[in-house]
Amino acid sequence: MASLDGKNVLVISTNYGVEQDEIVVPIEQLRKRGATVTVAAQETDAIQSLVGDKDPGKTVDPDTTIGDVDAGGFDALVVPGGTINADNLRTDQQAVALVQAFAGAGKPVAAICHGPWTLVEAGVLPGKTITSYPSLQTDVRNAGAEWVDQEVQVDGGFITSRNPGDLPAFVDAIEQALTA
């Protein structure tokens, strides 16, 4: 039996600009570990990922839309980065409401790279310690959180990482949160 059998994980993204590995690797690794992973995008069209915010990457087919999911049916939320994705996701009120719902229910919220911008917008970070892509430091501090520079930071239900190089630690921390 895989360690995450019976666990339902939601990954949210815009339809353009998500960093390829930050969406593909968590989906593949969490599924390999037994989780049921649902990908929700703003629209039902394919998600066009990017590599390094500029080169076209793999496409990912969403299972549903952000507006059609309910946090109640999931055990954890994953917010991948990519500058374009994260900047647009944080202005999506349905995405922000999902972050608030997961955090309010005490369910793990995992965000990598620029993904924590959505957590900033959701107002869920006061008193927390997180990491992110370094350029978000001021935003994180202005949101009432402490910023640290490490591959993965876990504070309560928040799991954060800095960049695609941190993905192994990021996915392991999600697994640990779901099996604790």
What is the per-residue pLDDT across 32-48, written as a single tens digit (0 to 9) for each?
999 999 999 999 999 99
Q: How confident is the model at residue 2 (pLDDT cuts 50, 70, 90)?
A: confident
Give the span between the Cα atoms of 163 and 111, in whole angstroms: 10
Asked if residue 1 belongs to a domain, the reply is no
Q: Which domain holds residue 45?
A: 8-179
DSSP string spanning 70-93? -GGG-SEEEE---HHHHHHHTT-H
Spot the catalytic one: 90, 114, 128, 162.
Answer: 114
Average pLDDT over residues 94-101: 98
Asked if residue 3 belongs to a domain, the reply is no
Instruction: Tell me how far apart the 2 most distant CA atoms of the chain are, in Å.
Output: 43
Chain mean pLDDT for the chain? 97
Give the span between the Cα atoms of 51 and 116, in whole angstroms: 19
Asked if residue 2 belongs to a domain, the reply is no
Total domains in the chain come to: 1
Asked if residue 69 belongs to a domain, the reply is yes
- Is residue 153 pLDDT above 80, yes or no? yes
Half-sphere exposure of 111 (CA within 13 A, CB side): 34
30: domain CATH number is 3.40.50.880
Give the span between the Cα atoms of 167 and 160, in whole angstroms: 10
pTM of the model: 0.98
Asked if residue 112 belongs to a domain, the reply is yes
Q: Is 12 a catalytic residue?
A: no
Residue 24: predicted pLDDT: 98
Asked if residue 134 belongs to a domain, the reply is yes
